[in-house]
A = this chain, B = another copy of it.
Amino acid sequence: MPTSGKTPVLLDLTIDNITPNTNRINAQCEDRRLKYLMERLVTHLHDFARETRLSTEEWMAALNFLVGCGQISSDVRHEFILLSDILGLSLLVDSINHPKPPASTEGSVLGPFHTHDAPTLDIGSSMSSDPEGEPLLCICTVKDTAGKPVAGVKIDIWETDSSGHYDVQHSDRQEPSERCVMISDSEGRFWFKGIRPVSYPIPHDGPVGKLLERLNRHCWRPAHLHFMFAKEGWDNLITALYMRGDPYETSDAVFGVKKSLVVDLDKVDAATAKEYEIKEGSWLLKHDFVLVTKEETEQLRDKNAVDALKKLGLQLKLVDHLPVPDLD
């Protein structure tokens, strides 16, 4: 394809003029959102190289690190999600996209271990097949911010086995385990049997693990249970509940812990044991989740975006709820 008349002349590019010229040629893009994303990406990437006077060896090491992340990734492992997690980017993107009004349940990081093959189980079922795990009964509700039950919510729940591994981390995985989908009942309730979560290291046999080591950081996450709530008309809630007192409670390798998500475990008493068909003395977790409507979240997200961009001094407007330069 020959160059069009509009193409800027690219010649004699230097440390000082490479950025505007790269942005000028990328500005041929007709998708204004992608154009804005690229303009910001190129500017930050180049500023990074200029501020660090990045050496050729460091540049090559970084590119090889990225190849390594891609090559260790697979259907059941996403090293770039892990990288985003340990750099705080995942927490940031989640916070931007799912602002929570007061009294609603806060979000937490998705992590790389959610799958789409978890079985839908009846309320009250057990989702664990690990005989070594300490039995845990979870009794939960889903409500709106006014305290009204939300029925028919699809809830993804997943946790590690007692060895601290998700099912997909076992190479001999036959079927999903320690994960399920439940649907909240007409009173917004759901309960299930799992095992008491344990703290575990994120996968550290790859490039991200080596990076954490070089940074003198540990690779542990505090014990937690993952939840994802989805229902038409409601903002998708990705969150987790963290067990109070875990040694990594305040140093989560992926920055996911929030005070409002740290919970205390209790013990199942005789009456509860009988009602829920579980052994007396098992661990008990009770929690009430609060969802926000899609509309309320969208309004809050737009408002936050406008306020934040104004504070940053950027002349942008929202199109389809995402900022692009305001050229009018």
Residues in chain A within 8 A of chain B (CB atoms): 1-3, 7, 9-15, 18-19, 21-22, 25-26, 28-31, 34-38, 40-42, 44-56, 58-59, 63-64, 66-71, 73, 78-81, 84, 87-97, 214-218, 220, 247-252, 255, 257-259, 301, 305, 308-309, 312, 314, 322-323
Contact = CB atoms under 8 A, between A and B. Distances in A.
10 contacts: A3-B251, A25-B215, A40-B48, A41-B87, A42-B87, A46-B88, A53-B96, A55-B93, A63-B80, A70-B70
Contacts of A79: 67
Given A9-B251, A50-B92, 12 more contacts: A10-B252, A12-B257, A13-B91, A22-B88, A22-B255, A25-B215, A28-B217, A34-B214, A42-B87, A46-B88, A56-B94, A59-B89
A56 B71 CA distance: 23
6 closest A-B pairs by beta carbon, nearest first, are A70-B70, A22-B88, A44-B44, A28-B216, A63-B80, A3-B251
Nearest to A38: B215
Contacts of A13: 88, 91, 95, 255, 258
A259 B11 contact: yes
A62 B1 CA distance: 27
A39 to B, nearest CB: 9
B259 A15 contact: no
Contact of A89 (B34, B35, B45): B45
Contacts of A90: 59
A240 to B, nearest CB: 14
A218 to B, nearest CB: 5
A70 B66 contact: yes
Number of copies: 2
Given A18-B95, A70-B67, A78-B63, A89 B49 contact: yes
A89 to B, nearest CB: 6
A81 B69 contact: no
The CB with the most chain B CB atoms within 10 A, among A44, A216, A259, is that of A216
Contacts of A215: 25-26, 28-29, 34-35, 38
Contacts of A70: 66-71, 73
Contacts of A12: 257-259
The CB with the most chain B CB atoms within 10 A, among A29, A66, A94, is that of A66
A251 B22 CA distance: 11
B41 A48 contact: yes
A52 B30 contact: no
Contacts of A40: 48, 51-52
Nearest to A1: B218
Contacts of A30: 216
Contacts of A28: 215-217
A58 B37 contact: yes
A87 B45 contact: yes
A323 B220 CA distance: 32
The CB with the most chain B CB atoms within 10 A, among A58, A63, A95, A323, is that of A63
Nearest to A99: B15
Contact of A71 (B53, B71, B96, B314): B71
